[in-house]
Amino acid sequence: MTAALLEAHDLCAMANGRDLVQAVSLSVAAGDRLAIIGPNGAGKTTLVRMLSGMLRPSSGEVKLTGRRLDRISAAERALHMAVVGQTDQPDPRLAVIDYV
């Protein structure tokens, strides 16, 4: 069995007293691919933000290479993961290969 690179255990997110994400757990190993699908308003973006460390979960935890994500600096996280949002606008002077 391959060790997980990214793990989430019982992730929850709330805003204004409303549950946005409830008890999500997952494990992603080297070479795995992950797709997050669902209808508008299902919490997909919130989940990605928690998995990438951009948003702290209201409960649960995320681990990257076995370490809690909230204890890893943004610079160190960037060595292991990157998130490109659907509305990101890279600098037009940047070559595609450099952006990727």
Task: Name the residue among 45, 47, 54, 48 with its Cα closest to residue 77.
Answer: 54
The three-class DSSP label of residue 20 is: strand
Do 57 and 69 meet the contact criterion of CB atoms below 8 Å apart? no
Average of per-residue pLDDT across 44-71: 93
Domains of the chain: 4-99 (3.40.50.300)
Instruction: Give the per-residue pLDDT at 100.
Output: 67
47: pLDDT strictly greater than 90: yes
Of residues 25 and 81, more confidently modeled? 25
DSSP 8-state symbol, 57: -
Mean pLDDT for the chain overall: 88
Q: Is the pTM of this model over 0.85?
A: no
